[in-house]
Amino acid sequence: MSAVWIKPVTMMPADNAATDLLVANCLAAAADGDVSAYFDLGVAFSTGSDGAPVDLVEAHKWFNLAAVGGYESAAQCRADIADEMTAREIAEAQRRAREWLVAGRRAAA
């Protein structure tokens, strides 16, 4: 068996304005209950894609909301990142998800 060398990829930082716009658009869609936006935010915060900061607590929150909303692969993504988190971080993510849901109910009332 021969060794395989993988060339490291250098990521260029995204334009902060573009990142802010992407996150703002996803947050607006999420506020309207768009489950795909929940998932997209989970991906962005778990991978740092589109220049978003890597924040596993936020990623877990969004994957959790997407899973509750019926997005099929969100539960597996949530479980995958939970393996890299402490119990305290997971509890914080769950608290934030509950806050999001409560705030949404208040806005709808």
Each residue of 72-100: pLDDT tens digit? 999 999 999 999 999 999 999 999 999 98
Orientation of helix 35-47 relative to helix 16-31, angle to 10°: 150
Q: Counting beta carbons within 10 angstroms of the beta carbon of residue 61, is it exposed (0 to 12), middle (13 to 18) or buried (19 or more)?
A: buried
Q: Which residue has the higher pLDDT, 10 or 79?
A: 79
What digits encode the pLDDT tens for the residues 33-45? 789 999 999 999 9
Write out pLDDT tens, residues 47-57: 988 778 899 99
Residue 86's pLDDT is 98
* Residue-level pLDDT at 82: 97
